[in-house]
Structure formats: structure tokens, C-alpha cells
Amino acid sequence: MQETKLWYLHLLLERKPTPDTNLEYFVKVIRSTEQYYRNCYEEKFDDLSSDQFVEMMVLDGCFLIELFKVYAGELTQDKDDPVWAKWVILALLNDLLLLENQIPWRVLECLFDITWISGRRTLPDLALNFFYSWTFEMSPEIDGVGKNLHLLDFIRNCLIRSFDENAENTKSFSWQSIPSVTELLQAGVKFKRGKDNDMLNVTFKDGVMEIPPIRVQENGESLFRNLIAFEQCEPNIINSTTHISSYAFLMDNLINSSKDIEFLVEKEIMQTFLSSEDTASFFNRLNNDAEFSSFSYGELFEKVTQYHQGRWHRWQTILGRDYFSNPWSIISFVAALVILALTFIQTVYSILSYKFK
């Protein structure tokens, strides 16, 4: 891969999209804030000299920018480019979103600005386009306000951008849980597919849980785990709301078995490329050792718990399932009520007749 990165850098320098596109200038600009970039890592790279560290930032940064542009069709894909072999690009997509593989966003932004041609796509647009199929195909919105630490943080910011903070009030977390989909169905809860591209906005109102669709691929667990790990170790997130961790905890509660998955698939709430059993296991493994300072679905959990504990909803469900599921059941039920009523009237009549003899 190192040779491929050098090749991409050579192609960029040879193409020279702007007057400032030259290696010396790249090195100068990155070196000017080298200490900031070193401070972005827990590992301080003490074994790397200044030249080696700056070279790593320039090489990796230019490679990613050129990769995004080729993928978007801004640059022609070379037929001999090894990156675009199917297994290589899939592995690369996965590796670039590992928490331990992140490059500071500011490096990408700096190098991108130096080589950017006015009127072309922006860095956030190119990055999101590249990772689109790798982010549950939710078409997350670009967060043009917040600052990104790195690519993984950028993807998280895009995913939570559409989250409606007022949909369910965030609350201090207590280890309360809610029943699974199958159990909630038995209690009369109905499930509805929510809006597309709105993954985190799960709501519960009047006995209806609305869940936006989610697409689960083989990389899903890796992406979720890295997003959760990032939320658990980033101080600025820990002190606010861990939205992705909260969502994973919610789905872990709702999904206990393959039956829950099969129902969500039937309702077109979930699309999965795994078996029902593997998908259920995937969600059940996500939240090991996760911690919450504030939980995104506190009010939702309270509403669901209150609804589930109400007996009337359960009786309604039993009546609907056992007595009103088809016309014959309804006829039988009505007939039983008529017979019961007649029996009651006859009994009362007999008592009154006896009393007034």
C-alpha cells in the first residue's frame, strides 16, 4: 500500500491542479502545525523524527484526497490501479473507519484547500460520497457547522446531524430496559417504518413505535463498534450525549432473537445481508461495557414501559388475536356473548319468578 500511496502522490504532483501543488509547500504547511497533529494522537510517535511524521501526514492525506476524487469520477481511474480490486477497496473502506487508523481532519482539509479547484466538490461532499454505502446507506447529512476531528468523527457527525433532539428528551441514564419487539407486539404495540435517511429518530406515541429503516451489512458491526468506542473515549462526547451508543442500546433491547429480526424485515424497517440469527447476535454484542452520561431515548423508554405495564393494551391484543382474527372467530364470539346474555336473562327471570310466587 505504501507504493500505491507514493504513486497517487506522484500523479497529484504531476497533474498540478493549482500553482501551490508541490511537495515542498505541502511539507512546509503541515510542518507549521506539526505539534498540533501530534497532539491529536494518544501515541506521540516519539520514534518518528519531524521529517518522518510530516511525510506520513502528507502521504496519507494526499492519498485519501485523490482516492475520494477518483471514486467521485473527478479523476480518471487507472486500469492498473490495484486499489480498485473489489477485495482491496472493501478492506480499505473498513480500515479507514477504524478508530486506530484515523488521520486528523485538519490535515485533509489543509491539503485539500491547497489543491482544490473552484467549483469542484468540497472535501465533506467527497468523503461522504466515498463512505455512503458503508454507512448503512442512510444518506447522512453533512454537518457544515461542527468541527471534525477525523473521518470517523465526520461520519458520526453526519449520522447524528438529523437527530431530532426534541423527539425524545435526553436524560441521565439508568439501567432500565424495555421488552423486545416480540414481547411488545404481545402487549399491543404496533411498529411502523419511519422516514428514510433518519436512522436515529426512533419515536413512540400512542402505542406505535416508529423506527426509520436501517441496512445491515457485513461491515456493520465494525462501524458500530468503532463509533461506540470513539464516543466512549472522546471527552467532548462523553460530556454531552452518546447518540450512537444510545441507539445501539435501544436496538439491543428490541432485538433478542431471530423472530424480532424477521418481523422488522417483514415491516421493511430493516434490510440485512446476514442471516436472522447472525443479525440478532450482531445487535446483542454491540453494547458490551458501554457507558452513558446521557441517554438519547430516556423519554421513549419511559413511555414504552408505561404502555407495556398497562393491562388494557394486552387484553385488547388477546381479544383481537384470539377472537377477531377472522369472520368465523367474530361470529363465534358474538354467538357466545348472545348465549351468555340469554343465559343471564333466563337466570334472572327464574330468580324473579321464584321470588314472587
Question: Is residue 166 in some structural domain?
Answer: no
89 in the same domain as 60: yes
Domain boundaries, position 351: 326-355
Residues 307 and 337 in one domain: no
Contact 113, 25 (CB under 8 A): no
| Residues 185 and 307 placed together within one structural domain of the fold | yes
Q: Is residue 246 a contact partner of residue 297, using CB atoms and an 8 Å limit?
A: yes
Identify whether residues 284 and 341 lie together within a single domain.
Answer: no
Is residue 205 very low, low, confident or very high in pLDDT (cuts 50, 70, 90)? very high
Instruction: Note whether 188 and 303 are same-domain residues.
Output: yes
pLDDT, tens digit (0-9, with 9 covering 90-100), for 241-269 = 788 999 999 999 999 999 999 999 999 99
Cβ neighbours for 112, distance < 8 A, ≥ 6 positions apart: 65, 123
Burial of 24 (0-12, 13-18, 19+ CB in 10 A): exposed
Residues 331, 301 within the same domain: no
Give yes or no: residues 306 and 332 share one domain: no
Residue 86 lies in a domain: yes
pLDDT at 319: 47
In a domain, 57, yes or no: yes
Report yes or no on 321 lying in a domain: no
- Identify whether residues 265 and 347 lie together within a single domain: no
pLDDT (tens digit, 9 = 90+) per residue, 276-290? 999 999 898 887 666
- Residue 156 covered by a domain: no
Check whether residue 274 and residue 187 sit in a common domain.
Answer: yes
Is the same domain home to 192 and 281? yes
The answer to whether position 174 is within a domain reads no
Residue 26 is assigned to a structural domain of this protein: yes
Q: Is residue 155 part of a domain?
A: no
pLDDT at 58 > cutoff 70:
yes
Claim to verify: residue 284 and residue 351 sit in the same structural domain: no
* Mean pLDDT within 286-297: 75
Q: How many domains does the chain fold into?
A: 3
What digits encode the pLDDT tens for the residues 78-121? 888 888 887 788 888 889 999 999 999 999 999 999 999 988 99
